[in-house]
Structure 1
Amino acid sequence: MTGFKIETLATAPAGSRDILDAIDAGLGFVPNVYGVFARAPNALSALAAINAGFDASSFTPGEREIIALTTSVYNQCPYCVAGHSTFALAHGVDPETVEAVRAGGLSKDTRLQVIGQLTLSILEKKGALGPSEIRSFLNAGFQPVHILELLVGIAGKTMTNFASKIARIPLDDAFAAQAWASATTKTPTAA
């Protein structure tokens, strides 16, 4: 037992209920990770703010899911890999791309490949990108603002990756078809 309770709409502290209601309205359910964060309304509020900021970025929903999925694979978080695989597919990311990222690789789609590559480079180098990596990203049609927006995605996803592992959050039924075992998957590496 980890001591982390998964709150529901009925049991969550008052300060978390509006956020959980909004998540439930958007997804049709409240994923377990948000139920864990709900125990600390300030933490749930911070996570919701980061997610809202990332959702408002110039990345498409599918691109945001590639950033989240790549980060989750890098951080070896089975819960988040399953969730973001499910969401990526729902946002029209092709199954081949989802499988490639889940296996520690990159998409064959040029734009998604560039996004995934920079995400991995940032994670592996803890942000210490070289000029050539930044130039490659910008030469692919991106702007410096995209790098900053990508950092928002990495930050929010790292929060949920770590919380999922610390609390040993059980997989939601909605994500079961995309279950993932980190022990059988290599840690991705940037080229």
Structure 2
Amino acid sequence: MSRLNTPSLDDAPAGARGILDTFDAQFGFVPNMFKTIASNPTVLDAVVTLQGTMSRVLDAKTRHTIALAVSEANGCGYCLAIHTYVSSELGGMSSEDIHLARAGSSVDPKRAAVARFAQQVVESRGRVSDADLAAVRGAGYTDPQILAIVTVAVQALLTNFLNNVNQTDIDIPSAGSIGMPG
């Protein structure tokens, strides 16, 4: 059960309604995470603005891979469920690739390197080794792209932390455990 107040759509603050309507139009429902965050329209705006800005860096499958790898490393069941759903239904990722992303890999060697690197960013709290940087560079990522990878990872961590604090009720198909493909 969620530990923070999750207002109904009718009770959401006026400053959040437009954003919530956008999610409803996109998904056919408003995910509980966004309903909860809507209780503070400024935080909702910050999260949505960051997500919108970061949607312009890297390709969608790489961003989804990072989100899945980070959410697995950080143990966020809600984010794993929503990123699995979005990666599959909107992102065109196969069940195998989603499963591999959660394990820090991918069917694509370049995305496998980014998944491993993103998990290292989380597990080392950003104190990645020279070898970690060399591996992601060796996969073809430039320093500006590495900055984008870290920022996408931090974006995922932000929602991981919000959902882990809240223990947000999962209102989308559960991602299952790492031992079983999504």
- TM superposition score category, shorter chain reference: 0.7 to 0.9
Structure 1 residues 72-83: aligned runs within 5 Å: 72-83=71-82
- The total of aligned residue pairs comes to 179
Aligned to 1:10: 10
Aligned to 1:52: 52
Instruction: Name whichever of 141-150 and 20-29 sits farther off.
Output: 20-29
Which 5+ residue runs of structure 2 have no aligned equivalent?
none
Aligned to 1:170: 169
The structural deviation recorded for 1:181 is 4.8
Pair 1:179-2:175 in alignment: yes
Whether the 8 Å CA contact 1:53–1:152 is kept in 2: the answer is: no
Quickly say closer, same or farther: Cα 1:15–1:47, change in 2 above 3 A: same
Cα distance in 2, alignment partners of residues 151 and 101 from structure 1: 16
Cα distance in 2, alignment partners of residues 159 and 139 from structure 1: 28
1:1-20, Cα deviation, whole Å (9 max, x unpaired): 65522234322101111221
Amino acid at match of 1:51: Q
Aligned to 2:30: 30
Query: CA RMSD, aligned part only?
Result: 2.0
Cα distance in 2, alignment partners of residues 86 and 116 from structure 1: 18
Whether the 8 Å CA contact 1:72–1:158 is kept in 2: the answer is: yes
Instruction: Name whichever of 21-30 and 116-125 sits farther off.
Output: 21-30
1:39-85, Cα deviation, whole Å (9 max, x unpaired): 0111111111111121111x221211111111110111111111111
Whether the 8 Å CA contact 1:80–1:161 is kept in 2: the answer is: yes
The structural deviation recorded for 1:105 is 4.2
TM-score after normalising by structure 1:
0.84
Quickly say closer, same or farther: Cα 1:114–1:14, change in 2 above 3 A: same
The alignment-based identity, stated in percent, is: 27
Cα distance in 2, alignment partners of residues 21 and 8 from structure 1: 13
The structural deviation recorded for 1:156 is 1.8
Pair 1:70-2:69 in alignment: yes
Quickly say closer, same or farther: Cα 1:107–1:83, change in 2 above 3 A: same
Which 5+ residue runs of structure 1 have no aligned equivalent?
186-191
